[in-house]
Amino acid sequence: MLTRRSFVKTSALLSAGLLAAPSLLAYDKKYIGLQLYTVRDAMAANPAAALAKVAQVGFNSVEGATYTGDEKFYGMDAKAFNQVLKQNDLVMLSSHYRLGEEQTNGKDTMGTMLHDWDKAVDDAAEVGLKYMVCAYLSDPERGNLDHYKKLADDFNKAGERCKKAGIQFCYHNHDFEFKQQDGKYPYETLLTNTDKDLVKMEMDLYWVTKAKQDPIKLINENPGRFPLFHVKDMDKTPAASFTEVGNGIIDFKTIFKHADKAGMKYFFVEQDKTPGDPFNSISQSFNYIKKTLV
C-alpha cells in the first residue's frame, strides 16, 4: 500500500535522481536535424529527391531555408510540402524567415515578419512547425543600438502572433551581433529588450565561436533562452572556415552537457560550404553526432 510517507519518500528520491542526472530533463535525443541550406542546390533542383537522400543519410528532422519572398516551401504550398516530408518520414520542426525591412526589386518582401506574417504563421502551422526563426539581418537592417531596440519590438510582435498559433519565435545569430556599439553588443540589446517567453534564440555555435564568444557563458547568463542549436564546426586553419561536425575545434561534447540549462530542445547540422558533395559532408557529420553526442 502506498502511504503518504512512502509517496513523499519516493517523490524525494525521484527528484534527487533527476537532479543528479540532468540529462533526463534535456532535449529529445531521437531527433537529429539538418538545416536544408546545407543542401540548397539539391533542394532547388529536386526537393523530393533531395529530401529522400537526407532521410537515407539518417536525419529525421529538418529546418527550412525558404519561404520568404515566394511564400512557398521549396516551390510547394504548405499542404503539398508536408506530404513530401511525410513520404520520407521527416518532420520540419523549424524554418527560417526574414525580417522584411529590406525590399526586393523596390517592393515589400512578402512572407516576412513585417509583410504578410499572418499567412507565414498559418502556413507554418499547416506544416507542423514548432519554431519560426529570423534567419539573418542584412546590412541595412542592422543599424545602431536604437534600431536594434526597434527590432526587438518587431520580434515581440512577431512572437506574439506565433504564440497564438502554438509556435515559438526565435532569432538566429551570426557574428555581427557581437560587434560592440557604445560598449554594448547588439545581441545583448536584443536579449534584454525582447520578452524572454515570446522571443528565444537559435544559437549558431560556429558564429558564436567566430565572434570569440563563449557559448557556455551565454547559456549561464541566459538560461532557457536557447531552444535551438545550429551544430556547425570550425576548421583548424587560419581561415576558420566551415567543416564537418567533429573535424574542427568546437567542443560540442562540453556544450551539449549544458543543453538542459540552455533549454535546448532540437538541433540542426548546418555547413554553409562543403569541400565536395554536401551529402558526403552531412553523412560525416551525422555519423559523428550519432556516435558521440546522442
User: Number of C-alpha atoms within 13 angstroms, CB side, residue 220?
Assistant: 7
Q: Provide the pLDDT for residue 35.
A: 98
Please name the helix (run of DSSP H) or strand (run of DSSP E) that holds residue 82, with its range, or none: helix 78-87
Do residues 39 and 50 make contact, with C-beta atoms less than 8 angstroms apart?
yes
Angle between helical axes of 78-87 and 47-57 (0-180°, round to 10): 40
Q: Provide the pLDDT for residue 29.
A: 80
Domains of the chain and any CATH numbers? 26-292 (3.20.20.150)
Q: Which long-range contacts (CB under 8 A, 24 or more apart) does 287-293 make?
A: 288/244, 288/245, 288/246, 289/32, 289/231, 289/245, 289/246, 290/32, 290/58, 292/246, 292/252, 292/253, 293/231, 293/252, 293/253, 293/256
Q: Provide the pLDDT for residue 195.
A: 98
Torsion, Cα of 74, 75, 81, 83 (10° steps): -130
pTM above 0.85, yes or no: yes
Q: Provide the pLDDT for residue 26.
A: 58
Q: pLDDT tens track of the chain, all 294 residues?
A: 444 444 334 344 334 443 433 433 457 788 999 999 999 999 999 999 999 999 999 999 999 999 999 999 999 999 999 999 999 999 999 999 999 999 999 999 999 999 999 999 999 999 999 999 999 999 999 999 999 999 999 999 999 999 999 999 999 999 999 999 999 999 999 999 999 999 999 999 999 999 999 999 999 999 999 999 999 999 999 999 999 999 999 999 999 999 999 999 999 999 999 999 999 999 999 999 999 999
Q: Provide the pLDDT for residue 149.
A: 98
As a whole number of angstroms, the distance between CA 111 and CA 123 comes to 10
Cα-Cα-Cα-Cα dihedral sign, residues 267, 219, 254, 251: positive
Reduced DSSP (H G I as helix, E B as strand, rest coil) percent helix, strand, coil of the chain, to 5: 45, 15, 40
